[in-house]
Amino acid sequence: MRRTEGDELLSTPEYPYEVVRVVTSDGYVLLLERIPRRDSGKVVYLQHGIFDTSMGWVSNGVVGSPAFAAFDQGYDVFLGNLRGLVSREHVDTNISSRKMYLKPNLFRYWRYSINEHATKDIPAMIEKIHEIKTAELNELSKPDSDEVVRDQPYKLCAISHSLGGAVMLMYVITSRINLMPHRLSRLILLSPAGFHDDSTIVFTLIEKVMLLLGPVIAAIVPGLYIPTRFFRMLINKLARDFQNYPAVGGLVQTLISYVAGGDSSNWIGVLGLPHYNMYDMPGVSLYVALHLAQIKHSKKFIMFDHGSAAANMKAYGTPEPLDLGQHYNLIGIPVDLVAGRKDKVIRPSMVKRHYALMRKADIEVSYKVFEYAHLDFTFSHREELLAYVISRLLLVDPPQKQHRTKTTLRHRKPSGSQRKTEGNGTEHRAEEILVHPRLQPLVIPVIAVPTSVTNQNVFLQ
pLDDT tens, position by position, 50-92? 888 898 899 888 888 999 999 999 999 999 999 988 778 889 8
Report strand pairing: 28-35 vs 335-340: unpaired
What does the pLDDT read at residue 274? 61
Write down the domain spans for the chain: 18-142+149-225+283-400+440-453, 227-281
Decide which of 354 and 460 is more confident: 354
Q: Residue 457: what pLDDT?
A: 37
Beta strands in 268-375 (DSSP E): 284-285, 335-340, 365-370
Please indicate whether residue 386 or residue 258 has the higher confidence score (pLDDT).
386
| Res 247: pLDDT | 73
Question: How would you label 352-381 residue by residue, b for 16+ Cβ within 10 Å and e otherwise?
Answer: bbbbebbeebebebebeebebbbbbbbbbe
What is the pLDDT at residue 89?
A: 87
Kindly indicate the confidence band of residue 337, based on its pLDDT and cuts at 50, 70 and 90. Answer: very high
* pLDDT bracket for residue 116 (50, 70, 90): very high
Higher pLDDT, 456 or 95: 95
Please answer whether residues 23 and 124 qualify as being in contact, where contact means their C-beta atoms are separated by less than 8 angstroms: yes
- The beta strands (E) that lie in 216-350 are given as 223-224, 284-285, 335-340
Give the whole-angstrom CA distance, residue 183 versus residue 202.
Answer: 39
Entry pTM: 0.82
Lowest mean pLDDT among 200-214, 247-261, 282-296, 345-359: 247-261
Higher pLDDT, 427 or 380: 380
Instruction: Give me the pLDDT at residue 262, please.
Output: 66
Q: Is the pLDDT of residue 135 over 80?
A: yes
Contacts 24+ apart (CB under 8 A), 205-208: 206/293, 207/293, 207/296, 207/297
What does the alpha-carbon distance between residue 458 and residue 83 come to, in Å, rounded to a whole number?
Answer: 17
Report the amino acid identity of residue 331.
I
CA distance 140 to 342: 47
Average pLDDT over residues 119-126: 98
Closest CA to 400 of 150, 157, 184, 158: 150
Q: Which of 202, 160, 189, 122 is nearest to 350 (CA)?
A: 189
| CA atoms of 180 and 173, how far apart (whole Å) | 10
- φ, ψ dihedrals at 343, nearest 5°: -80, 115
Least confident of 172-181, 185-194, 405-414, 452-461: 452-461
The CATH code of the domain at 18-142+149-225+283-400+440-453 is 3.40.50.1820
The pLDDT of residue 107: 76
- Residues 368, 384: contact at Cβ < 8 Å? no
Report yes or no: 308 and 317 within 8 Å, Cβ to Cβ.
no
Element (H, E) at 20: strand 18-23
Of the two residues 56 and 145, the one the predictor is more confident about is 56
Task: Give the Cα separation of 67 and 15 in Å (integer).
Answer: 10
With contact defined as beta carbons under 8 Å apart, do 333 and 185 qualify?
yes
Diameter of the chain measured on Cα atoms: 80
pLDDT level of residue 439 (50, 70, 90 thresholds): very low
- Confidence (pLDDT) at 459: 36
Q: Is the pLDDT of residue 376 over 60?
A: yes
Report CA 113 to chain centroid distance, whole Å: 13
Contact status, residue 163 vs residue 285, Cβ threshold 8 Å:
no
Q: Which pLDDT does position 355 carry in this prediction?
A: 98
Residue 385 or 427, more confident: 385
Alpha carbon distances (Å) from 326 to 260, 300, 301, 353: 29, 9, 9, 12
At residue 150, the pLDDT reads 72
SS3 call for 336:
strand
pLDDT computed for residue 92 by the predictor: 87
**What is the rounded distance in angstroms from the CA atom of residue 337 to the CA atom of residue 184?**
16
Of the candidates 291, 290, 273, which has an alpha carbon nearest to the alpha carbon of residue 282?
A: 273
For residues 391 and 386, give the distance between their C-alpha atoms in angstroms, rounded to a whole number. Answer: 8
Given a contact cutoff of 8 angstroms between Cβ atoms, the answer to whether 166 and 301 are in contact is yes
pLDDT of 370 reads: 95
C-alpha span between 35 and 403 (Å, rounded): 29
3-state secondary structure of 187: strand
The C-alpha atoms of residue 297 and residue 208 are separated, in whole angstroms, by: 8
For the ranges 129-143, 369-383, 434-448, which has the lowest average pLDDT? 434-448
* Average pLDDT score over residue span 3-18: 64
Q: Tell me how far apart the alpha carbons of residues 141 and 39 are, in angstroms, rounded to a whole number.
A: 10
Given a cut of 50, whether residue 308 has pLDDT beyond it is yes
pLDDT value at 419 more than 70 = no
Look at residue 8 in the predicted model and tell me its pLDDT. 52
